[in-house]
Copies of this chain bind each other. A is one copy, B any other.
Amino acid sequence: MRLSTKGRYAVTAMLDLTLNGSDGPVTLAEISETQGISLSYLEQLFAALRSKQLVKGVRGPGGGYYLGREADEISIADIICAVDEWVEFTRCGGNRDCQDGKRCLTHNLWDDLSNEIFSFLQSITLAELVERGGLKEQGCRKEKEKASIMPTASADTAAA
């Protein structure tokens, strides 16, 4: 299982599409600009998204990308799976090589957890995210001290 910055880029881009796609398709150049992601990298991400029918491309001038289906029909899990290859590893599918049950037990536990995380992410749609999150605290300022536990290494995703 994986859930890296690549997935974040994809979700961010899809959110951008959701928010700005109401009047005509959105170009990758625009997303690249506003989100600070390299154009070519976006192209690669969107190739994956397109292959899973999550976006629809329109060529030529005035072209760009639409969402492949309604925003309430696209889950976060869909997006992450498209770009990040959600891999299942507990390979003890047919209980050979299963260290007298011990290994298999923990594998099962991890498997359950993994499924839970998956269905959690599957339960959140783009539409929901925009409704719930976006409108409350509009501005860029937010006071909450969310990161007291987690080390905040300042990754720099600077726009060129």
Number of chain A residues close to chain B: CB under 8 A: 75
The answer on a CB contact under 8 Å between A95 and B141 is yes
Question: Which among B99, B106, B137, B155 is the interface contact of A19 at CB below 8 angstroms?
Answer: B106
Within 8 A of B (CB), among A27-82: 33-36, 76-77, 81
The answer on a CB contact under 8 Å between A5 and B8 is no
The answer on a CB contact under 8 Å between A89 and B8 is yes
Cα of A105 to Cα of B19 in the assembled complex, Å: 9
The answer on a CB contact under 8 Å between B36 and A140 is no
Q: How far is the CB of A95 from chain B (nearest CB, A)?
A: 3
Q: Chain B residues with Cβ under 8 A from A91's Cβ? A: 154-157
Q: Chain B residues with Cβ under 8 A from A92's Cβ? A: 140
Q: List 21 A-B contacts (CB under 8 A).
A: A8-B114, A33-B99, A36-B103, A81-B149, A81-B150, A81-B151, A87-B151, A87-B152, A87-B153, A88-B152, A91-B157, A95-B139, A95-B140, A97-B159, A105-B134, A108-B137, A108-B140, A109-B133, A113-B129, A115-B146, A118-B150
